């Protein structure tokens, strides 16, 4: 896949699989494709651009008879001399009315060009049109190269003559609609698979695992139609599973941060990934519904905790008074919490403050400190919020019970509670050390 990034490799693999599927679908049609002159010219434009693109300088050497290696070199004059016979040949081939001459010179090139577009072959009327268009495109490309070697690097006016390529399906004549094929469900595929494999002695635990995974995939897709599944759907589901597994077991490999920024919801108006300006570490930046507040950012695991707490409702505010402190506050009123307390699991009587000299837009664990506040009051009224993680989970569950029937996030209350606990565990795994005591917000 020409990359060491696992996420990028998966994306490229999906694109390659889609291209290959297009090619096999064309082969299964068992009939040549018809292209018009505009489509043939568009394909010729791909040849033109390939030969006029900036060339990467390469070095080659030759093993001499005496055993020495000699560097090969080619001057512009030598390259210009090599272009002349090619241009003569292309001129002669372009003016010929015999397709066989063009077929001999350009047939293999045209075949590879068609395969890149998932086309196995074209009909006998299209072939000579495509061959001549490609010959003219190559001739224009070599003429442009000749001008470059002569010292003229101005833009080639012929470069704009090639239109964008449109697949033949977009311009094909309308056909008689065939009756729709019966829908194939994902769950039905598992049922049919198990009916076959059960007879072969496969263990029921394997069936249960596959059935549960398929049910989770259907819930993720919000449909059960196998024909509508795309490569992006599969990659997105795999990334989601990796993120959920990371919450349960923090020692697992890191899931892609892009999963957190895919669909802003609730109080978040925009979410994106970028390095922390000071440390360069990965961070998630976000803006909230109050347009007067600038973007804030947190480590990915802290944003995940915050995002899950607000998954079923609740606002997010910033008490930016301009004095150097700006607390990020999930929910409001008696349910209001502050992010610093949630990060460091502050208990009743603990005070977590933000460092005054830190950038108050950076909601980083290192920018908070725990200050002594004395002993908790013994005569606090019953039911007074403790502003701790337990209170936060109960607030999130209250929103769950009000909105989960309208939400696109299927879960039970106990499942949601466990996910929130796991999210806090993940934060602790990255930021286990408590902030140092401080006597001033320095």
- pLDDT tens-digit series, residues 374-391: 555 555 544 455 678 999
Domain identity same for 42 and 102: yes
How much helix, strand and coil, in percent to the nearest 5, is found in the chain? Answer: 50, 10, 40
Instruction: Give the C-alpha separation, 430 to 365, whole Å.
Output: 10
Q: How far apart are CA 239 and CA 242, in angstroms?
A: 5
The contacts of residue 187 (CB under 8 Å, 6+ apart) are 211, 214, 215, 218, 224
Examine residue 190 and state whether it is found in any structural domain, yes or no.
yes
Residues 144 and 267 in one domain: no
Mean pLDDT comparison of 83-97, 171-185, 317-331, 388-402, highest-scoring range = 388-402
Residue 402 sits in the same domain as residue 277: yes
Quick check: is 402 in a domain? Answer: yes
The reported pLDDT for the residue numbered 38 is 92
61's tokens: 């050497």
Residue 202 has pLDDT above 90, yes or no: no
User: Looking at residues 230-238, what average pLDDT do you find?
Assistant: 76
Q: Judge if 265 and 413 occupy the same domain.
A: yes
Segment 161-173 shows an average pLDDT of 71
136-167: burial string, b at 16+ Cβ within 10 Å, e else = bbbbbbbbbbbebbeeeeeebebeeebeebee
Does 221 reside within a domain? yes
- The pLDDT of 5-21, averaged and rounded, is 74
- Per-residue model confidence as pLDDT tens digits over 31-88: 788 899 999 999 999 888 888 876 655 566 787 888 888 877 777 787 788 888 888 8
160 belongs to a structural domain: yes
Judgement on whether residues 307 and 416 belong to the same structural domain of the protein:
yes
pLDDT of residue 394: 92
CA 410 – CA 402 distance, rounded (Å): 14
User: Are 316 and 268 in contact, with CB atoms under 8 Å apart?
Assistant: yes
Same domain? 262 vs 157? no
Are 291 and 218 part of one and the same domain?
Answer: no
In a domain, 435, yes or no: no
* Phi and psi, residue 128, nearest 5°: -65, -35
Q: Is residue 321 part of a domain?
A: yes
Length of the chain: 442
How many domains is the chain partitioned into structurally? 3
Report how far apart, in Å, the C-alpha atoms of 99 and of each of 4, 88, 136, 315, 401 are: 46, 17, 14, 70, 73
Whether 303 and 284 have beta carbons less than 8 Å apart is answered as yes
Q: Sign of the CA dihedral 24, 25, 29, 31?
A: negative
Q: What is the CA radius of gyration of the chain?
A: 32
Same domain? 295 vs 418: yes
- The reply to whether 34 and 143 lie within a common domain is yes
Q: How far apart are CA 348 and CA 334, in angstroms?
A: 15
Task: Give the domain range for residue 278.
Answer: 257-374+384-430
- The verdict on residue 249 lying in a domain is no
Mark whether 298 and 398 lie in a shared domain: yes
């Amino acid at each position: 896949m020409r990359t060491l990034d696992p996420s990028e490799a998966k994306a490229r693999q999906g694109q390659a699989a889609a291209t290959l599927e297009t090619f096999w679908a064309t082969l299964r049609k068992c009939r040549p494709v018809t292209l018009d002159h505009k489509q043939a010219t568009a394909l010729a434009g791909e040849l033109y651009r390939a030969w006029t693109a900036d060339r990467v300088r390469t070095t080659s050497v030759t093993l001499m008879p005496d055993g020495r290696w000699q560097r090969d070199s080619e001057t512009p004059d030598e390259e210009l001399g090599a272009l002349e016979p090619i241009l003569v040949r292309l001129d002669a081939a372009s003016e010929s009315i015999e397709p066989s001459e063009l077929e001999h010179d350009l047939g293999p090139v045209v075949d590879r060009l068609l395969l890149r577009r998932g086309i196995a072959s074209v009909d006998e009327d299209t072939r000579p049109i495509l061959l001549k268009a490609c010959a003219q495109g190559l001739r224009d490309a070599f003429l442009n190269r000749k001008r470059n070697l002569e010292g003229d690097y101005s833009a080639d006016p012929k470069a704009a003559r090639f239109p964008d390529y449109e697949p033949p399906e977009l311009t094909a004549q309308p056909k008689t609609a065939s009756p729709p094929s019966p829908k194939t469900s994902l769950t039905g595929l598992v049922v049919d698979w198990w009916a076959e494999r059960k007879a072969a002695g496969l263990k029921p635990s394997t069936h249960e695992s596959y059935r549960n995974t398929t049910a989770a995939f259907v819930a993720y897709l919000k449909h059960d139609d196998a024909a509508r599944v795309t490569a992006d759907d599969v990659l997105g589901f795999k990334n989601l599973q990796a993120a959920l597994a990371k919450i349960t077991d923090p020692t697992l490999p890191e899931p892609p941060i892009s999963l957190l920024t895919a669909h802003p919801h609730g109080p978040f108006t925009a979410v994106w990934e970028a390095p922390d300006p000071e440390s360069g570490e990965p961070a998630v930046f976000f803006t909230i519904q109050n347009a007067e507040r600038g973007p804030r950012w947190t480590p990915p695991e802290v944003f995940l905790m915050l995002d899950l707490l607000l998954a079923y409702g609740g606002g997010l505010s910033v008490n930016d008074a301009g004095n150097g402190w700006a607390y990020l506050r999930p929910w409001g009123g008696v349910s209001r919490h502050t992010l610093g307390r949630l990060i460091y699991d502050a208990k009743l009587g603990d005070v977590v403050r933000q460092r005054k000299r830190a950038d108050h837009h950076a909601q980083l664990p290192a920018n908070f400190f725990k200050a002594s506040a004395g002993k908790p009051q013994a005569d606090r009224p019953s039911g007074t919020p403790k502003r701790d993680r337990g209170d936060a989970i109960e607030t999130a569950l209250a929103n769950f019970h009000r909105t989960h029937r309208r939400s696109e996030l299927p879960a039970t209350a106990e499942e949601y509670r466990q996910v929130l606990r796991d999210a806090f565990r993940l934060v602790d795994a990255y930021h286990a050390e408590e902030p140092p005591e401080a006597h001033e917000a320095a």
